[in-house]
Amino acid sequence: MSGILIYIILKIGGKNMNMQDWSKNVASIIEYAGHIFPEVEVVTRELSGKITKSNYKNISIRSKKLASALEKHGIKQEQCVGSLALNTFRNMEMFYGISGMGAIMHTINFRLHPEQIVYIINHAENKLIFIEPVFAPLLEAIQDKLPTVEKYVVLCSKEEMQESKLKDAVSYEEFIEDGDEEFVWPDLKDDAPCGLCYTSGTTGNPKGVLYSHQSTLLHAWAGSSANGLGLKKEDSILMVVPMFHVNGWGLPYLAPMNGIKLVLPGMGMDGAALTELIQNENVTFAFGVPTIWLGLLNYCKENNIKLDSIKETIIGGSAVPYSMIKQFDEDHDVNVVQGWGMTETSPLATANLKTPEMEKMAKDEMYQLQTKQGKPIYGVQLKIVDDEGNRLPEDGKAFGRLLIKGPWIIKRYYKHDADAVDAEGWFDTGDISTIDADGYMTIVDRAKDVIKSGGEWISSVDLENAAVGHPEVVEACVIGVAHEKWDERPLLIVIPANKELTKESVYDFLDGKIAKWWKPDDVVFVEELPHGATGKLLKTDLREKYANHLIK
């Protein structure tokens, strides 16, 4: 009788009970790595410059101590725990200790304006915040505006702990001291939240993206696949992308999942600190954004350094210029893999991995192909549409709004009432792209940055990439500014490498590399360009400053 009942229930419920359920807790990754890859190193350059070597076994044990300490301090499942932290072994422990006990690891970008940090902390209602000692003054100045925060944990040893005005401050090492090494990771429900990251909010308030354990695990699996990031077991990864920015592109999960060594630079992002780490830790794979790599490449050039150990670098966050791809290859024998993604996409969505066909190409053809943002990773679907939402052909020419869907793509912003996707589940990325017949996606521009000149479109990204190829141009930014006849025309703003650089030289260089009618109406030389909190050019300020530059 009961057998028939179960059969009927299963039939009605439509559930297949033949395969096992699985633990959707990201802590399963560190638990695995602690057992299977115990000795694989996690190397950190601490704030003091000291190099500290941990490994997956230690991180696994210490994240359990942290999880248990959080429970003892009354942190409950699904509560947000904030962090203003650098890339260090302690941050790795937080990724597992906080999320693994069921709370939400809320990574906060310390480069944001203090008012935005206040907004984010209040919006997430953090009870507890982990901070690096260097950020204590920043938090002390705003803590009166943070009513939900009851305690601050300073990421240092007992001995390093300085006197602090922060509420109930304690050092990290003291906090986890009595934590239980035998802590058992809980089973969590299927859609349990794991991490929270806010977009930079260049317009309006930042918006929160709440990742689940399931989406994070699937993202890490997909990133580990052959068509993911192309990581290899023997790699030693330099993680220059900050852990606070979209989960450090998934590396805190991907690396232990695959038993890959991690090299974490802490605060040391300058050329000298990075090259020292690269050489001493035999780095083979480096992850970063173009602006940091620009500094590193220049440093290497000035000091005649070759990055011998590095074989590949994954670059994303903004478009990678042709000149950078070429310089990495010619000067350092490093293959550039471009990746594209955003906070809303966890972030891994496309990657431009080297293919056997590329190996056979002439260098110039290969570099051109590598300027594309790449093919979608399995799990992610892409399409391009016109302003009316009609699907555009994937011929490499038609361009339109890039829409995305998949198991680690946002559905709704944190605490918002309405979904961020359309009725069919597509999320509008705000990027304008082409997709070609081979499946390569290319970003033409961000919708808000594209220049509309006399009804035609000019890509600011293409112009910037062309200009930065000039040997005496350090960095280039193109914005659309008001024009009496054409509505908008491109203005090129450049940081010159020396005082000798002239407008004529820039125009001569661009000649033949861009369509004639794309030629910027003026070139302005500046000493500095503004960058947002994630290293992208901050064009809003420049648009305001140069709004009437072409109007007489």
Residues that bind ligand ADP (CB under 6 A): 199-200, 246, 316-319, 338, 340, 342-343, 373, 429-431, 443, 446, 534, 536
Q: Rounded to an integer, what distance in angstroms lies between the CA atom of residue 427 and that of residue 345?
A: 9
Q: Catalytic one among 452, 456, 502, 517?
A: 452
Least distance (Å) between residue 52 CB and ligand ADP: 29
Integer CA distances (angstroms), 317 to 172, 249, 306, 343, 434, in order? 31, 10, 25, 10, 18
Task: Tell me if 257 sits within 8 A of 220, measured CB to CB.
Answer: yes
Q: Which is nearer to ligand ADP, 367 or 486 (CB)?
A: 367
Q: Which is nearer to ligand ADP, 96 or 440 (CB)?
A: 440
Least distance (Å) between residue 508 CB and ligand ADP: 27
DSSP string spanning 10-53? HHHHT---SS------THHHHHHHHHHSTT-EEEEE-TTS-EEE
Active site residue 221: no
Task: Tell me if 403 sits within 8 A of 429, measured CB to CB.
Answer: yes
Look up residue 329 and give its amino acid.
Answer: D
The three state secondary structure string of 153-188 is: EECCCCCCCCCCCCCCCEEHHHHHHCCCCCCCCCCC
Q: Single out the residue of 515, 374, 365 nearest to residue 436, CA to CA.
A: 374
Q: Which is nearer to ligand ADP, 94 or 443 (CB)?
A: 443
Q: Which is nearer to ligand ADP, 61 or 351 (CB)?
A: 351
Other CB atoms within a 10 A radius of the CB of residue 32 amount to 15
Q: Which is nearer to ligand ADP, 277 or 314 (CB)?
A: 314
Least distance (Å) between residue 60 CB and ligand ADP: 29
CB burial string 435-451: b at 16+ within 10 A, e below = beeeebbbbbbbeebbb
Least distance (Å) between residue 14 CB and ligand ADP: 37
Q: Which is nearer to ligand ADP, 292 or 501 (CB)?
A: 292
Active site residue 31: no
DSSP string spanning 301-367? HHTT----S--EEEE-SSPPPHHHHHHHHHHH--EEEEEE--GGG-S--EEE---HHHHHS-HHHHH
Least distance (Å) between residue 313 CB and ligand ADP: 12
Q: Catalytic one among 344, 394, 464, 488?
A: 344
Q: Catalytic one among 44, 107, 199, 442?
A: 199
Active site residue 284: no
Q: Which is nearer to ligand ADP, 82 or 347 (CB)?
A: 347
Q: Rounded to an integer, what distance in angstroms lies between the CA atom of residue 283 and that of residue 304?
A: 18
> How many CA atoms lie within 13 Å of 528's alpha carbon, on the beta-carbon side?
4
Least distance (Å) between residue 351 CB and ligand ADP: 10
Least distance (Å) between residue 432 CB and ligand ADP: 9
Task: Tell me if 241 sits within 8 A of 287, measured CB to CB.
Answer: yes
Active site residue 311: no
Integer CA distances (angstroms), 60 to 54, 237, 281, in order? 10, 19, 22
Q: Please give the positions annotated as active site.
A: 199, 344, 452, 457
